[in-house]
Structure 1
């Protein structure tokens, strides 16, 4: 009985061993053999002990590599073992005798694939601590290992890989490793412990973007609260992290693609849960970033044909093309450009917000709004990428620092984009300085699409202002747009500039613009949007045509509550070559913020009441909207709400234009309109390697002379701009140009 028991036990060990090599995971093995998980772990140690006792350390190392993903179901199931350096490719298995490679192949079938271990490779292990000791000891079973504690000694030139290991995150980071190994041309892999987490990766290859600094910057930005220095690791956690490192080392040395290529493992040392996170190379990385110098040659824009995706579309690339890439490349709670996603389940339409963390600007939520959550998520990410590119140059390095007077021959005059008045500069605590033509500032290259030549633009106009003051104006996202091509991005940047200019002229001049009948558009989707906003949110929607002399259809949307106690009025705007799309865009802006705004309105009603008498309390973006949630502020919008004017149809207000099959033709027509109006169109390419990864282009469009949208009543920029005075008379709303004293003195209500 005892002998038979040993035989049966050996048979079960063999079945277990075969399942391990076939790639079965722990849950599958325990289920198949009907054994407890603790028994499975015990057998594993017995098998490894038996292999080592037979003097076959290479084979035991291979079996251990399978244990890297032993707790999940992701490991492949077809594995053949080939040991480089074993003369006859034979081995002993638990006293069953010699089994040749051919016999093994025949017995285990064609489910097997090669698993190659290079036993003669030299590995350098740098570091000290338990993790380094454990990994070094295991690697010695299979490789030639050179151990050193730091980089004061040279790394062996023959080393195929350097593994850098610490039991905590080094105070100096991994700058020393980057400097030494980039120069030596040796790939390297790191592992360390951070609080109750283990970090493995990324695998860094010299000259390839995406280094340890990129990984740390992404991790610190996306999850700053999770980065700590204290060490609280368990032996089991260290063991698990070590085996991930060993498995990654083996993949690199046998020429396979490592899991940590462009990725990083984060291991919960308490639960042993391991997650793999994508590391998008940071173009601003001081180690591997390779930004080219900004130049006039690189700023040149040659418009190329961009066929539309359909006859009724104004895009050259379908959003469906990006479904497989946007979330994967940019969304990650621990290392992503965006670290959180929020579904809006209350608003009238499907809304999704993503959080864009930033050391400079703080967290910012960008939203996508459509009729499906899947599409809204994509839109939110695209909106966030646009914001990300607009914060600071990420695709080129600013190199020109000079005064306007010294570069005036080929530079934009900042006075043409709207500055602050002497009265504004005299305000207490006003943080902006008057523009000084002799003061050196940073300049970036843009391109004049009207004059067809490069032009210098102040960097503070081409990118967002920091929000901390300084400089000569506060600049926001006005004119920033992302597109599937440079041409598409420029077109939508122009549309945004036109939308905001139209809104501000209408507001400052209090134009009695035509009110539109939304049902006259003969668009079922638009009709249902209007009806749903009333049925679900309790708001009537009023649409107005605020198109200016440039002819770009621009719509003012006003939502008025049908119930007392809620925000009374909310205003938004939209502009598009198709007026119906402009109307839908404006309604989406209204619907996407209603619930959120209502909560803030109720909490801060007393503060907003004070803004009625003191416009300079309107300080932030949301203050502009909240003020007009008060019923007492409705009288300021009577120039729109006058019920005596008849409704106008879309056909009466908008002339149908010939549709082009190519989006670039639409862009050229639009540029020509501004050329005839003696207005320049300047595009600054804000695209970065991060967006170009998926063929996405980002631009900032400036049209000098048009009114820029500003937030904070004290920051309105009208000095040097005459459009608000001149255009109303040109359009027939006034008999003669207005004076500055006739302009609306109240803060605008733009959402």
Structure 2
């Protein structure tokens, strides 16, 4: 593709060039974008998103020669102000005279725009407390999503390519979004009480993942650990967190770093970028020596809200894994103590379908409620035998509902999915090392032959200590400060990184990734397993943990 006819140079961008880019092809004309300042996307950004989404417009741009402007194009340029094309491209079908507007944003993969970076670590360290769970109401969120709907979901240029309702999830309404970044396809899901809320939840998860996969226009810090220490920087030593096959960390090796804030002190600390952005190699081309997931990442109406929910997710995963790896017996939640009618309805539906359901209280030292839900299919011919989910929230029944929704939707979907795939997954039977990716953790326990890993729990149900949702309620009032304070009391190192981009900022939303070194991290694939021995030893860690069966978290 010859972009010389449409691509503004950096010099032109700096001078706020008044020209609108135009690419005239035999069948279509592409008009825009207009570049006013460094915040605006260029035609190369437009091309990158077309390429990621495998859009037919990319083929039109690539195929055949370009032509001089037609009278139609000249007329559009005369009649429309340049600002009309800011972060937009107008596509005109020259045969049908149909007009189509496409919204664009700067692409981190664009070589022209990638030179314009925001200073690293400029985030405010002033903490704004709140005593409500969510700063923005559900109606405010719905209005916000509606206002940006065409930009968020679009087959050609959306950060999400396609949104669809999953018809297999017939207990709880579920929406899924197909999205692409670079050559990586990923999905976001929303499942909750009704169709609108589920759709919004899927879009919010998409925005969170969009922000946390690769850094977007943040100043790059590339240096070795040794050099940064010599420069007097506060740096987190990566040696404890490297992958098992990378036994030696080289302190003089260059790598990318993210500026994080230490909660409480406000101190800026450099953390390996691979621990913050779980797909940074797509942008950096850096070989991964750390394994990280979206664990501990959340979106919120304020940075503080995002931080709290990111921390709650980290606590949830830690509670689950501590119980799993140490075989610590949880408390059994009396289901008769549940008051929320939404939870009761889902439980009744699942029992009616023949599922056996257990709710476990896995809360640990922070006093923040955490729930483990285990669903077992009693049908001998079931495609999935056991499914697990977890949740954490200040309100125990909110934690139960979050975990139950995850489990109820997923077990139905996997039952259908594995009907077609299970035959090809038999290599997982009694083969823990065969678990290589996230889905394998579910697939492994789809087989009844692997269910012995739960004997320590299911064989002792009658002996488990009982509890109620009322007994699980925290003894402290809810506030962002109180939640973080409870975690800090036991885990004094909490590092967080804001993950801004122009779309999220324009929507007045925030995405935060949190890293708490003293918690047990969630990983997927036995080859990526990372064990926090100090953490597990507090609860009686067993020996040879790497030789044991994989965790069952989806």
User: Does residue 49 of structure 2 align to residue 199 of structure 1?
Assistant: no
1:575 match: 392
Q: Does 1:353 align with 2:176?
A: yes
In structure 2, C-alpha distance between the alignment counterparts of 1:638 and 1:652, rounded to whole Å: 28
Structure 1: give runs of 5+ residues left out of the alignment: 1-168, 309-313, 426-431, 661-665, 729-736
Q: Distance in 1 between matches of 2:196 and 2:476?
A: 33
Q: Contact 2:222/2:254 (CA < 8 Å) preserved in 1?
A: no
Q: Is the 8 A contact 1:210 1:281 kept in 2?
A: yes
Aligned-partner SS, 2:33: coil
Q: How does 1:142-157 map to 2 (within 5 A)?
A: none
Q: Which structure's relative contact order is higher, taking Cα pairs within 8 Å and 6+ residues apart?
A: 2
TM alignment of 1:551-570, pairs within 5 A:
551-566=367-382, 567-570=384-387
1:303-359 per-residue CA deviation (whole Å, 9 max, x = no partner) reads 013352xxxxx1111132132334233221111111111111231111111122111
CA apart distance, 1:378: 1.6
Q: How do residues 277-296 of structure 1 correspond to structure 2 at under 5 angstroms? A: 277-282=102-107, 285-288=110-113, 290-295=116-121
State whether residues 354 and 366 of structure 1, in contact with CA within 8 Å, keep that contact through their aligned partners in structure 2.
yes
Contact 2:396 2:469 in 1 (8 A): no
- Indicate how the Cα distance of structure 1 residues 405 and 250 shifts in structure 2: closer, same or farther if over 3 A, else same: closer
Match of 1:374 among 196, 199, 202: 196
Aligned pair count?
A: 540
Change (3 A) 1:742 1:306: closer
Q: How does 1:498-577 map to 2 (within 5 A)?
A: 498-535=315-352, 538-566=354-382, 567-577=384-394
Residue from 745, 748, 751 that aligns with 2:548:
745
Q: 1:724 to 1:658 in 2, by over 3 A?
A: closer
Deviations 1:16-46 (A, max 9, x none): xxxxxxxxxxxxxxxxxxxxxxxxxxxxxxx
Q: Distance in 1 between matches of 2:272 and 2:345?
A: 45
Match of 1:597 in 2: 414
Distance 1:230 1:437, change over 3 A: closer
Q: Unaligned 5+ residue runs, structure 2?
A: none
TM-score normalised by the chain length of structure 1: 0.67
Aligned-residue Cα RMSD (Å) equals 2.9
Q: CA deviation at 1:678?
A: 4.5
- Matched with 2:251 is 437
For 2:237 and 2:173, the matched residues in 1 are separated by 43
Report the Cα offset of residue 172 of structure 1: 4.9
**Distance of aligned partners of 1:192 and 1:390 in 2 relative to their CA distance in 1, 3 Å threshold:** same
CA contact (8 A) 2:315 2:392 kept: yes
Do the aligned partners of residues 448 and 191 (structure 1) sit closer, same or farther apart at CA in structure 2, a change above 3 Å counting?
A: same
Tell me the CA shift for residue 279 of structure 1. Answer: 1.9
CA contact (8 A) 1:281 1:690 kept: no
- In the alignment, is the contact (CA less than 8 A) between 1:196 and 1:232 conserved in 2? no
Does residue 174 of the first structure (1) align with residue 6 of the second (2)? Answer: yes
Per-residue displacement from partner, 1:80-108 (whole Å, max 9, x unpaired)?
A: xxxxxxxxxxxxxxxxxxxxxxxxxxxxx
Residue aligned with 2:177, SS? strand
Instruction: Kindly state the Cα deviation for residue 413 of structure 1 after the two structures are TM-superposed.
Output: 2.5
Q: Which has the larger radius of gyration?
A: 1
Correspondence list, 1:417-432, <5 A: 418-420=241-243, 424-425=244-245, 432=246
Return closer, same or farther for 1:597/1:686 CA change in 2, 3 Å cut-off: same
| Aligned CA distance change for structure 1 residues 305 and 283 (closer, same or farther; 3 Å) | farther
Partner of 1:154: none
Return the offset for 1:486.
0.3
Partner of residue 162, structure 2: 340
Structure 1 residues 303 and 206, CA, compared in 2 at 3 Å: closer, same or farther? closer
Distance change >3 Å, CA 208–CA 701, structure 1 → 2:
closer
TM-score, normalization by structure 2: 0.89
